[in-house]
Amino acid sequence: MNRARARPASTGPAGTGPPASAGPAETWPATTGPAGRAGVLTVATAPIGNQADASARLGPALAEAGLIAAEDTRRLRRLANALGVRLTGRVVSYYDDVEQRRVPGLLAELAAGQDVLLVTDAGLPGVSDPGYRLIAAAAQAGIRVTVLPGPSAATTALVVSGLPGDRFVFEGFPSRRQGERERRFAELAAERRTLIFFESPRRIGQSLSELAAAFGTDRRAAVCRELTKTHEEVLRGTLGELAGQLADGTLGEVTVVVAGAPVGQDAPAALAEAVAQVRAHVQDGATTKDAVAAVAAATGLRKRDLYNAAAAEPR
């Protein structure tokens, strides 16, 4: 689920290049499945806190799986015990640091006819958790991928936040690097849709302060902590208020929901902020043309207007 990870959290999962291209393959003896039939990759959602939220299909899937790829094998066994399930298949670890080299071996198993069950500690694999690489590689290889749905911290927080949920953007974990984080927040300042972030409990105060600086201290937000667990807590208020309340951090799993930019946001101010973003990209080595294209795509402003404003602004 939403645990802090050393990964950029801008537009997608970490390392979204070709899944099978990186690192040496880690292999094990392939299981022989039904002749002429490839296996099925089942992506299983685990409870995000309360084990009673597990899908009725999860227990049987764990019990019947011949091969399970799990983010944390110890947590998997605790989950199975909580569900009254005995694991009879092989269990292999599938966490961030081994994800790339596990993919070829798991693909070989699937190609040989072995079904594979993919599960992370909490929530849905591939959503700020390991899983994307294997899912993408299986799909590219023509192997059937199916999902066993269940709880999601992102949508649970969205609903309980009280903020508009008709259109939203999931941003995952912000970068751990302050400069990259601040630039990304600046790019998102004019986003009209509700935004959802995961964040480390240790960095939540700093991130809220930076969000307040980029979005304005009066922007509505909610910080959702320990969702579905005994000590679940939802703090609602403005970014300025929440930054003050959580300046010293907090404990547990944290999801942040922030209201989108108001429809009546001052257009000149939005354009000026976008120009500042263009300048930052250029200072980082991008050409003006590429910087304008990137910022225009992020803010929805027209490239011509943004280019002209950037060219007119004194350097």
Q: Are 158 and 168 within 8 A, CB to CB?
A: yes
Q: Which CATH architecture has domain 41-151?
A: 3-Layer(aba) Sandwich (3.40)
Residue whose pair of structure tokens reads 């764990």 in the numeric block: 62
Per-residue model confidence (pLDDT) at position 37: 86
Spell 24-47 as b/e; 16+ CB within 10 A means b: eeeeeeebebeeeebbbbbbbbbb
- The Cα–Cα gap between 156 and 301 comes to 31
Token pair for 121? 């500690």
pLDDT at 272 over 90: no
- The Cα–Cα gap between 198 and 156 comes to 12
Per-residue model confidence (pLDDT) at position 25: 45
Q: Output the CA torsion sign for 160, 163, 167, 170.
A: negative
For 154-258, the fitting CATH number among 3.90.1210.10, 3.40.50.300, 2.40.10.340, 3.30.950.10 is 3.30.950.10
Residue 106 one-letter amino acid: L
Point out the least confidently predicted range of 78-82, 85-89, 184-188, 264-268: 264-268
pLDDT at 116 over 60: yes
Per-residue model confidence (pLDDT) at position 262: 87
Can you list the alpha helix ranges (DSSP code H) found in 42-93? 58-64, 73-82
pTM assigned to the model: 0.74
Token pair for 141? 């290889």
Point out the least confidently predicted range of 128-137, 200-209, 263-272: 263-272
| pLDDT, average across residues 75-97 | 96
How large is the angle between the packed helices 204-215 and 178-188, nearest 10 degrees?
40
Q: Is 285 left (phi over 0), alpha (psi -120 to 50) or beta?
A: left
Token pair for 51? 């084990």
| pLDDT, average across residues 210-229 | 94
Q: Output the CA torsion sign for 144, 46, 84, 29.
A: positive
Among 174, 127, 173, 166, which residue's Cα sits nearest to residue 150?
127
